[in-house]
Amino acid sequence: MLIEGAETSQYRAGSALQRKWYTVETLTPMAMHGANSRGDPQFRIPSLRGLLRYWWRAVQYETDPAKLLPKEEELFGGTQTEQSGKSLLRLVLHPPNFLLEEYPLLNHKPRTKDKSFTQVLKASQFLSIEASTYQFTRSDKWSHFQDALELALLLTGMGQRARRGFGAVQWQEHQFDSVESYGQRLCEVLSRLNVPIMSGITNGCLVKAVFNSGQLPPHPTLMAVWLGKPYEDNAAGVDCLLNDYGHASHLRSRASLGGIYPRFASPLWGSVRRIAGQLYPVISELQSAYSRKTPAVDYESDRNAFLQTLGVNI
């Protein structure tokens, strides 16, 4: 059952928890499964929790893992430091009856009778997520949780091929009437998370991280956020956008943008957001000390070709 209600912190009488509800809409098909990858798709809170932790880490520019891990475990739980224990953050899903459909995850390939279709959660569905923490949690930590979750809701998707537009969701509070308003909200959240950024829409780039790129952390960290061209906010527009993401991924033969042998996740995380009644590709660029497997000139060439396919005016 979908829970309706204010998108602000709520206190129940006698409750030991502080709560906030997030009603989100699926913008693109979501292929998220449990232990049985061939079973029915489902929205999984452990996946959301892992995503939240990933994006929190992505805006931590600490180069020493021994210094970063205690901070991470204090917020999200763990077993390896003195700060280990249960996470202070609790996430609960209040789902509707999800509608499913068959959709080709490699939809950029020619549509033939042999083309592989996967069962997914359909786009244009709403679900409610309850985030909570203990009443004794310091207000700055509770605000930090909310900012980290909002960052994920601004930039990312969930499930299979989430880096290529699938599983994109939009928080109902994110009603953007212009590209500028989206960029402003993103900068505000990054600022509250103490991310050193240079903002301003230049050649399709909304923000860039400002720090010594010669000292990249060992974990993927946010370097820039790019915005592509608008697509129609309907089923045909979603198909076209995901098709372009698929084509963009296969413009190059090198592994600079991800590969299987060896396993290497793409440094470009492409998602989708609704802005002024249209759908826009939102591409986050992440780098680490170990991410560049090809010369920088090859990576930049491949990255630019990828971005241009999605309409980034680079």
pLDDT in tens, 260-281: 766 778 899 999 999 999 999 9
Is residue 1 very low, low, confident or very high in pLDDT (cuts 50, 70, 90)? Answer: very low
Residue range(s) defining the domain that contains residue 102:
9-308
Query: Quick check: bond before 262 cis, omega within 30?
Result: yes
Q: Does 4 fall in a domain? A: no
SS3 for 175?
coil
Give the burial string for 6-26 (b: 16+ CB within 10 Å, else e).
Answer: eeeeeeeeeeeebbbbbbbbb
Contact (CB, 8 A) for 217 and 71 = no
Q: Does 237 fall in a domain? A: yes
231 compared with 47, residue with greater pLDDT: 231
How far is the C-alpha of 165 from the C-alpha of 59, rounded, in Å? 21
**Percent of the chain at pLDDT exceeding 90:** 50
Among candidate residues 251, 203, 201, 198, the one with its CA nearest the CA of residue 222: 198
Q: Does 180 fall in a domain? A: yes
| ∠ CA 164-305-122, rounded to 5° | 20
Q: Does 102 fall in a domain? A: yes
Q: Does 81 fall in a domain? A: yes
Q: For residue 20, is pLDDT > 50? A: yes
Is residue 14 very low, low, confident or very high in pLDDT (cuts 50, 70, 90)? Answer: very low
Is residue 92 very low, low, confident or very high in pLDDT (cuts 50, 70, 90)? Answer: very high
Q: Does 2 fall in a domain? A: no
Q: Does 86 fall in a domain? A: yes
Q: Does 24 fall in a domain? A: yes
Q: How many domains does the chain have?
A: 1
Contact (CB, 8 A) for 75 and 116 = no
Is residue 77 very low, low, confident or very high in pLDDT (cuts 50, 70, 90)? Answer: confident
pLDDT digits (tens, 9 = 90+) for 102-125: 888 877 666 655 557 888 999 999
